[in-house]
Chain A
Amino acid sequence: MDLIAPTDRGLFCEAGDFHIDPWRPVPRAVVTHAHADHARAGSDVYVCHALTAPILRKRLGAVAIETAAYGEVLTRDGVEVSLHPAGHVLGSAQVRVARNGDVWVASGDYKLEADGVVVAFEPLRCRVFITESTFGLPIYRWRPQAEIMAAIDGWWRENAAAGRASVLYAYALGKAQRVLAGVDPSIGPIVCHGAIEPINALYREAGVALPPTRLAHEVADRRAFASALIVAPPSAAAGAWLGRFGDHSDALASGWMQVRGNRRRRGLDRGFALSDHADWPGLLAAVEATGAERVLATHGSVGPLTRYLREKGLDARVLSTSYGEEDEAPPSEGAA
């Protein structure tokens, strides 16, 4: 019998009586990370990495949480469960489940490039690998992080010189902090949206060095906005919040920005293809490193990835989940 199988509530390990990233309430939810499509409200007990717990509380309120460190093994009914770095966002983890020598790994979301902010992805050997494939097409090949940060700096510097604010949309948990840690703070002041600033605080508490940031209303002299980098979640693009910054250039940091049409459709000045998900070469490398004989793909372009792996001789299949969007269309809220 399969150690982990999909049910209408999510991935279920019957032998250990727990779900992984369930999309409906369950008694015991092992959660890979705190993004909304992976950590949903209503479950009785949440199990996650210690650094995910504060973010989970912020999002879900006072819920029951059991935490574990990376590599720490929790045993239930003869099933070993441990969390391992996924390199996606703060506290993100792959879930390793083992019983009688049969090892399964559910990756959650992950990226391979070490971003210098969160603990880097750790390849795990397993028999069955449940992988995300948000960017499961070969058109997605990320440029090195340093190159993208230099491009963001260049854009910010040019705007600052022209006296206009630089509004950068980035997913509030993870992407925003990665950008903050990577840009050159000597260019100008940094202002963060109210949805991002509390998460910055959690990152700082976890020991991540971020440059000084302020909320918009804390800036007394509005002229300061003209040279500022303003980091906001993509949803702020539609709101009145932007009005105060006057003349500005806007940009989105997201893997979807790899394709021009995605940027142009949003009417953005710039798009930076910076992602916390694995690109195509990353997905293939991760699969290969596991040595898995079976691969189950969730999220995004599952069809092409599994077909490609099957043609390479692996037993690869699509696993239907409710993570992200089950369509190749970019989700409207940036990458989760």
Chain B
Amino acid sequence: MKAFADLYRRLDRATATRAKQAAMVGAFAAAKADPAQWASAAWMVYFLSGGKPRQTVPTRLLRRLAVEGSGLPEWLVDECYASVGDLAETLALLLPEGAGDDHASLDHWMRERLLPLPKLDEEERYARLSLWVAALPESRRLVFFKLITGALRVGVSRLQVVKALTEVAGVDESRMAQRMIGYAQARRMPTADDFAALVADVEASEGAALDAGRAYPFYLAQSWQRPLGEMQQALGPPQDWIVEWKFDGIRAQLIRRGANWRLWSRGEELISDAYPDLEPLARALPAGVALDGELVVMIPPAGETRPDSLDGLAPFASLQQRLGRKAISEKTLRALPVALIAYDLLELGGQDLRGEPQRERRAKLESLVRETLDRGGRLPLRLSPVVSAETWEGLAEIREQARALGREGLMLKAREGAYGVGRRKGDDRTDVWWKWKLDPMSVDAVLIYAQRGHGRRSGVYSDYTFAVWSAGADAPQRALVPFAKAYSGLSDAEMREMDAIIRRTTVEAFGPVRSVTPTQVFELGFEGIAASKRHKSGIAVRFPRMLRWRRDKPVAEADTLDALRALLPPGGEE
């Protein structure tokens, strides 16, 4: 674990991207040169690229370790935790220094020690934990506690990891991005062979890299945030662009190769098992096909066969009921069938099409979708319809209909553009996918709980819970109903000020959370809203964020639940 602890410390210290990159390249190159390190390096890449370490020890056991290990009263341990804001770091700071004679590798730690832990009884787990901690040198303690609390965040992006591996392997970046697809999936146990395949040169690993089900790195869109008046100037005429709706679903790639099919989510999780209703579609596609599109719930009327018909498209709330479910009942499959609205074709006949212009891929996609649907069987596949207008102003008018239709806005894709890798920076207009979203909906809400942030914001109250009034000001009795949580969108100075207000107005503190006397109003924006039985407010909002601190607004004048409900899309009730 020493190599990982050293790398973690170097990454944690570095603020410059360059330094982080150098640290990763150094660690990967050292591991590549020594096959004995491959298994541990495989885990290293797993964690760096976003793989979550499972929480193998329940929090109550960690608290017990903190209390008994430090010999401090429990309330004082709680004070420390509240001040640090991170349980792993609190443990590392409070426990006495270990003997420092443990030399187990990261792979050994994961496979032999941590992953088997949940199978043991609590006393046995506690005994082992205490022994390990006593043998850990100071420099490895923090990363160890981060691993067992499942809160390991390293502060590098996947793209940075890909770049570092690219440098070490000496292959090009898009190939490395493809090798990395699915690498950091939950519950995966990476092996020495996985690392070897990542850093191998092209010839040796060609077969493995293009194995049966792997997806292509998703090309991510950027937000278009400049005013309408500048669009003609910056983007040229609308005729240079393919314009489509931005659907409110789940971005996914459907892969059909050989006898296999796979469905990948944008988070590069393999989700085929959760959507067996796509199987007939996947089987109907020719081998060697990769479709990129939006997964939605769609209940088309009987007899509907038009490729670009969106009749029966259900709001996002319906899809939400399909998310995160392992076992899907027949009933759910019948009530909430999914479909793929395809908007790009990345592979056809086993050929990678990503370098071709958007218009050519679109043409091939249109014929593929038609041919597939023509075979009959009411397959759950649609073609993302193209919208058009003479001018950007005309398109803006079309965009206005998005909210009523339950869509997020429009997508702009340059006709001549290739399918890129990851998220491209800058204004390279021919090579960017733009999402041209509606302005967010907003309400004025009251801050009622605050929680200390993690990582960069540990110790500062930066995560807030907001509420609206249950009724209007003239109601005899009304209460504040929480409905959304948002990270602080405040500047550093404002956040310090807010932090002081929270400390001053605290009613009660429980762990890192404080309830406060309601005194502050914020304009809270969000991009989607739906009725929800799981929320106390009866409403779930998507991507809430703080738009403005309404210092001018008294708490009594904040918005009501009715104001929120008024924003619900038609048919959005559960």
Give chain B's interface secondary structure class.
helix
| A125 nearest CB across to chain B (Å) | 27
Q: Does A37 contact B (CB under 8 A)?
A: no
Q: Does B89 contact A (CB under 8 A)?
A: yes
Q: Does B227 contact A (CB under 8 A)?
A: no
Q: Which stretch of A4-12, A63-71, A254-262 is in the interface?
A: A254-262
Cα A234 to Cα B463 in complex, Å, equals: 27
Q: Does B360 contact A (CB under 8 A)?
A: no
Cα A259 to Cα B455 in complex, Å, equals: 10
Q: For chain A residues 287-336, which have a beta carbon within 8 Å of chain B?
A: 301, 303-304, 307-308, 311, 327-329, 332
| A45 nearest CB across to chain B (Å) | 36
Cα A104 to Cα B80 in complex, Å, equals: 30
B75 closest partner in A (C-beta): A307
**Are A259 and B458 touching (Cβ within 8 A)?**
yes
Q: Which stretch of B7-15, B33-41, B397-405 is in the interface?
A: B7-15
**Are A261 and B13 touching (Cβ within 8 A)?**
no
Q: Does A139 contact B (CB under 8 A)?
A: yes
**Are B76 and A304 touching (Cβ within 8 A)?**
yes
Cα A278 to Cα B72 in complex, Å, equals: 19
CB-CB under 8 A from B460, the residues of chain A are 261, 265, 329
Q: Does B326 contact A (CB under 8 A)?
A: no
Contact of B456 among A138, A261, A311 (CB under 8 A): A261
Q: Known interface pairs A139-B93, A269-B15. Does A261 touch B84 (Cβ–Cβ under 8 Å)? A: yes
Contact of B80 among A137, A262, A311, A332 (CB under 8 A): A137
**Are A139 and B15 touching (Cβ within 8 A)?**
no
Contact of A329 among B79, B453, B500 (CB under 8 A): B500
Cα A264 to Cα B80 in complex, Å, equals: 18
Q: Does A24 contact B (CB under 8 A)?
A: no
Q: Known interface pairs A258-B93, A262-B459, A264-B456. Does A139 touch B80 (Cβ–Cβ under 8 Å)? A: yes
**Are B79 and A261 touching (Cβ within 8 A)?**
no
Cα A138 to Cα B73 in complex, Å, equals: 11
Interface residues in A, total, Cβ within 8 A: 25
**Are A261 and B86 touching (Cβ within 8 A)?**
yes
Q: Known interface pairs A267-B15, A311-B73, A329-B499. Does A137 touch B455 (Cβ–Cβ under 8 Å)? A: no
Q: For chain A residues 127-163, which have a beta carbon within 8 Å of chain B?
A: 137-139, 141
Please, what's the 1-or-0 string for A243-278, where 1 marks a CB less than 8 Å from any CB in chain B? 000000000000000111110110111100000000
Q: Known interface pairs A138-B80, A307-B75. Does A270 touch B13 (Cβ–Cβ under 8 Å)? A: yes
CB-CB under 8 A from A328, the residues of chain B are 83
Q: For chain B residues 248-268, which have a beta carbon within 8 Å of chain A?
A: none
| B452 nearest CB across to chain A (Å) | 9
Interface centre among B12, B94, B457, B459, by most A CB within 10 Å? B459
A270 closest partner in B (C-beta): B13
| A242 nearest CB across to chain B (Å) | 15
Please, what's the 1-or-0 string for B78-106, where 1 marks a CB less than 8 Å from any CB in chain A? 01100111100110011000000000000
Q: Known interface pairs A268-B15, A329-B499. Does A261 touch B455 (Cβ–Cβ under 8 Å)? A: yes
CB-CB under 8 A from A261, the residues of chain B are 84-86, 453, 455-460
Q: Known interface pairs A260-B89, A304-B76, A327-B500. Does A139 touch B84 (Cβ–Cβ under 8 Å)? A: yes
Q: Known interface pairs A139-B93, A261-B86, A261-B457. Does A269 touch B14 (Cβ–Cβ under 8 Å)? A: yes
CB-CB under 8 A from B16, the residues of chain A are 269
Cα A327 to Cα B72 in complex, Å, equals: 22
Q: For chain B residues 46-81, which have a beta carbon within 8 Å of chain A?
A: 70, 72-73, 75-76, 79-80
Q: Does B503 contact A (CB under 8 A)?
A: yes
Number of A-B contacts (CB under 8 A): 75
CB-CB under 8 A from A332, the residues of chain B are 496
CB-CB under 8 A from A311, the residues of chain B are 73
Contact of A308 among B14, B76, B453, B457 (CB under 8 A): B76
Please, what's the 1-or-0 string for A173-210, where 1 marks a CB less than 8 Å from any CB in chain B? 00000000000000000000000000000000000000
| A313 nearest CB across to chain B (Å) | 14
CB-CB under 8 A from A258, the residues of chain B are 93
Cα A267 to Cα B15 in complex, Å, equals: 7
Cα A256 to Cα B84 in complex, Å, equals: 11
CB-CB under 8 A from A260, the residues of chain B are 12, 86, 89, 458
Cα A87 to Cα B2 in complex, Å, equals: 37
A267 closest partner in B (C-beta): B15
**Are A138 and B12 touching (Cβ within 8 A)?**
no
| A200 nearest CB across to chain B (Å) | 28
CB-CB under 8 A from B90, the residues of chain A are 139
CB-CB under 8 A from B12, the residues of chain A are 260
CB-CB under 8 A from B89, the residues of chain A are 259-260
CB-CB under 8 A from B83, the residues of chain A are 137, 139, 259, 301, 328
Cα A93 to Cα B129 in complex, Å, equals: 45
**Are A308 and B80 touching (Cβ within 8 A)?**
no
Contact of B503 among A141, A268, A327 (CB under 8 A): A327
Cα A153 to Cα B425 in complex, Å, equals: 38
CB-CB under 8 A from A262, the residues of chain B are 459
CB-CB under 8 A from A267, the residues of chain B are 15
Contact of B70 among A138, A264, A268, A303 (CB under 8 A): A138
Cα A332 to Cα B460 in complex, Å, equals: 13
A141 closest partner in B (C-beta): B93
**Are A265 and B73 touching (Cβ within 8 A)?**
no
| B75 nearest CB across to chain A (Å) | 7
Cα A270 to Cα B13 in complex, Å, equals: 6
B455 closest partner in A (C-beta): A264
| B537 nearest CB across to chain A (Å) | 31
| A268 nearest CB across to chain B (Å) | 7
CB-CB under 8 A from B94, the residues of chain A are 138-139
CB-CB under 8 A from A308, the residues of chain B are 73, 76
Cα A264 to Cα B14 in complex, Å, equals: 10
| B501 nearest CB across to chain A (Å) | 12
Cα A138 to Cα B90 in complex, Å, equals: 10
CB-CB under 8 A from A301, the residues of chain B are 79, 83
| A160 nearest CB across to chain B (Å) | 16
| B259 nearest CB across to chain A (Å) | 49
Q: For chain A residues 79-111, which have a beta carbon within 8 Å of chain B?
A: none
Cα A154 to Cα B277 in complex, Å, equals: 60
Cα A274 to Cα B471 in complex, Å, equals: 54
**Are B79 and A304 touching (Cβ within 8 A)?**
yes
Cα A268 to Cα B456 in complex, Å, equals: 11
Please, what's the 1-or-0 string for B7-45, where 1 marks a CB less than 8 Å from any CB in chain A? 000001111100000000000000000000000000000
A268 closest partner in B (C-beta): B15
Interface centre among B70, B73, B84, B500, by most A CB within 10 Å? B84
Q: For chain B residues 310-363, which have a beta carbon within 8 Å of chain A?
A: none
Please, what's the 1-or-0 string for B437-461, where 1 marks a CB less than 8 Å from any CB in chain A? 0000000000000000101111110
Cα A308 to Cα B70 in complex, Å, equals: 14
CB-CB under 8 A from B93, the residues of chain A are 138-139, 141, 258-259
Q: Can you give 12 A-B contacts (C-beta < 8 A)? A: A137-B76, A138-B93, A258-B93, A259-B83, A261-B457, A262-B459, A265-B459, A265-B460, A269-B15, A270-B13, A327-B503, A328-B83
Q: Given A262-B459, A308-B73, A332-B496, output 15 extra A-B contacts at Cβ < 8 Å.
A: A137-B79, A138-B72, A138-B80, A139-B84, A139-B90, A258-B93, A259-B83, A260-B86, A261-B84, A261-B457, A264-B455, A265-B457, A268-B15, A269-B13, A307-B76
The chain A residues found within 8 Å of chain B, CB to CB, are: 137-139, 141, 258-262, 264-265, 267-270, 301, 303-304, 307-308, 311, 327-329, 332
Nearest 5 CB-CB pairings of A with B:
A261-B458, A139-B93, A264-B456, A261-B459, A304-B79
